[in-house]
Amino acid sequence: MQNYPTYARRASLLAAKRVLTIPQIWNHLALPGKAAKSCRCPWREDKHPSFSVSPDGLTWHDFGSGASGDAVRFFQLASGLDMKETMRRFIEVSGVPFVMRSSVRSSAPLLARPQPQTKAEAPPERAKPTLPPFRPGTPGELAQLAKLRGIGREGLEFASERGLLRFATLKGFVSWDVTDGEGVNAQARRLDGLPWPHIDNSKAWTLPGSRAAWPLGIREAQPFQSIALCEGGPDFLAAHYWILWEQASHHSKRDVRCAPVAMLGASHSIPEECLPLFSGKRVRIFQHNDESKAGEKAAARWAGQLETAGADVDAFSFEGLLQTGGKPVGDLNDALNADAKSFLELTEVMP
């Protein structure tokens, strides 16, 4: 994995790497010779073939120097460009649309997004769930949750102040609960980190009667210009910490431009009547990196819905990032434990 100096293009860069191969780059740059399992290095004098391109065209190795890398690194070395310009050109050549953090966009014309024709509505009239008597967490409970999830306590306090993190005693266990101000949706996890025995040992329990697909925090996000759309309760809390760390002038202040919103499961789609609440917002989706690709599929589904609703959408992938200890970073919560190399890519994560 290369260390790309800016995050803004990360989502589109990953997409470009799936479609642009080293042989295609070789031809595009009109390099001498031909990309093959045994060929000459195109950027140095190579009297005897000591360069190799993998059969899938995605990686290369220079036996003469011992260097190796992916298609992006090949593009940089073969073109002589700096990494920032390499990334821009790589995505441009691939044909994948740019995903940018600022107002700068690809030179290709953008299709006008359809604007929602309906007014933002409350959830359809139906019986609200009878939720347990939630309460704010005690200092000890917040400290225990901070240790359990590896999330700075400041972020938990921020979520608690917004009424989105609560605590309760359920089935004889102390739980930490993410919920919404309207009392439509709530999900509980045990504070000791263990699974619930009454639901096949699952750690997340969507409380009875909840509208499970309703995005937590969407109403509370209306005063903010940007939204961090997360999957699941742990990422929802982690996002509160990330936002404070990156955007607040002090951890005790709330002068931020972004608010977290959570979908409590990759299988859910955003309810149609909720989509207008995202209209005109800058939305970044933090997709889970899992073997089943459920997180990637969910991010694509949500992005399609949000673009249709008139939101400005991109996505962040954790693919290739590692935690301290070597495990892959699977989500936004894991990213708080990223190793030093991976952490270099985790700058200006929030929109």
Residues 62 and 155 in one domain: no
Pairwise pLDDT comparison (162 vs 105), residue with the higher score: 162
Query: What's the CATH code of the domain at 46?
Result: 3.90.580.10
pLDDT over threshold 50, residue 50: yes
Residues 54 and 170 in one domain: no
Domain count, the chain: 2
The amino acid present at 205, given as its one-letter code, is W
The mean per-residue pLDDT over the stretch 228-240 comes to 97
Residues 191 and 305 in one domain: yes
> Which residues make beta-bridge pairs with 166?
177
Residues 255 and 167 in one domain: yes
pLDDT of residue 124: 52
Residues 159 and 76 in one domain: no
State CA 125 to chain mean position distance: 32
DSSP assigned state of 278: G
Separation in Å, CA 166 to CA 2, 88, 139, 162: 40, 44, 13, 10
pLDDT of residue 14: 65
Query: At 88, which helix (H) or strand (E)?
Result: helix 83-94
Residues 218 and 303 in one domain: yes
Query: For 167-206, how does the pLDDT look when each residue is reduced to its tens digit (9 = 90+)?
Result: 999 999 999 999 998 889 999 999 999 999 999 889 999 9
Residues 191 and 260 in one domain: yes
Which of 19-33, 79-93, 121-135, 180-194 is the least confident region? 121-135
pLDDT tier at 108, thresholds 50, 70, 90: very low
d(CA 252, CA 137) in angstroms, rounded, equals 18
Q: Which of 73, 94, 115 is the last residue of a domain?
A: 94
The mean per-residue pLDDT over the stretch 118-138 comes to 72
Q: Is 102 within a domain?
A: no
Q: Is 111 within a domain?
A: no
Q: Is 107 within a domain?
A: no
d(CA 205, CA 202) in angstroms, rounded, equals 7
Residues 47 and 192 in one domain: no
Q: Which of 28, 63, 94 is the last residue of a domain?
A: 94
The mean per-residue pLDDT over the stretch 205-225 comes to 95
pLDDT of residue 37: 93
Q: Name every residue whose Cβ is closer than 8 Å to that of residue 51 and which is 6 or more positions away in sequence.
A: 38, 39, 40, 41, 42, 60, 61, 62, 63, 64
Residues 151 and 230 in one domain: yes
Q: What angle do CA 278, 217, 215 make, to 5 degrees?
A: 65
Q: Is 116 within a domain?
A: no
Q: Is 35 within a domain?
A: yes
CB–CB of 334/346 below 8 Å? no
Q: Is 118 within a domain?
A: no
Structural domain boundaries, residue 86: 10-94
Residues 61 and 175 in one domain: no
Residues 178 and 51 in one domain: no
d(CA 215, CA 208) in angstroms, rounded, equals 17
CB–CB of 276/309 below 8 Å? yes
183: left (phi over 0), alpha (psi -120 to 50) or beta: left
Q: Which of 94, 129, 154 is the last residue of a domain?
A: 94
Residues 248 and 308 in one domain: yes
Q: Is 127 within a domain?
A: no
d(CA 45, CA 290) in angstroms, rounded, equals 42
Q: Is 3 within a domain?
A: no
